[in-house]
Amino acid sequence: DAKTTQPPSMDCAEGRAANLPCNHSTISGNEYVYWYRQIHSQGPQYIIHGLKNNETNEMASLIITEDRKSSTLILPHATLRDTAVYYCLTGTASKLTFGTGTRLQVTL
């Protein structure tokens, strides 16, 4: 599985869009990009995944660059409840590797 690189922390004002970047420059052609988040002391929660096309669901949008070497998770209107650690992962099989993620702090 390709290694991913994320900034360790980010801040976002409540109501604004949170844009979380991820680099996965060694991603292979059949590897998906996944995003999960972990609220303090809970199990991680799946957010979204994509292969080549941009994706949107009720939680977030995923923008993948054309060369697939990086992606951005967008929370369109961040709330205090979105404060969490966000993990970007890549993989082809059911076995995924979690890095240390980005700690997003949403503030008033």
Partner 1 sequence: DGGITQSPKYLFRKEGQNVTLSCEQNLNHDAMYWYRQDPGQGLRLIYYSQIVNDFQKGDIAEGYSVSREKKESFPLTVTSAQKNPTAFYLCASSIDISRTSGRAYEQYFGPGTRLTVT
State which residue, 39 or 80, has the beta carbon closest to partner 1.
Answer: 39
Q: 60 and 35 in contact (C-beta within 8 Å)?
A: yes
Q: How many CB atoms lie within 10 A of CB 83?
A: 19
Q: Does 36 bind partner 1 (CB under 8 A)?
A: yes
Applying CB under 8 A, the span of 18-26, 34-42, 57-65, 67-75 interacting with partner 1 comes to: 34-42
State which residue, 70 or 101, has the beta carbon closest to partner 1.
Answer: 101
The strand pair at 102-107 and 9-13 is best described as: parallel
Residues 73, 71: Cα–Cα separation, whole Å: 7
Q: Does 97 bind partner 1 (CB under 8 A)?
A: yes
Q: 69 and 63 in contact (C-beta within 8 Å)?
A: no
Using CB under 8 A as the binding criterion, the count of chain residues that bind partner 1 stands at: 25
Residues 33, 51: Cα–Cα separation, whole Å: 6
State which residue, 70 or 102, has the beta carbon closest to partner 1.
Answer: 102
State which residue, 30 or 67, has the beta carbon closest to partner 1.
Answer: 30
- Binds partner 1 (CB under 8 A): choice among 31, 70, 104, 106: 31
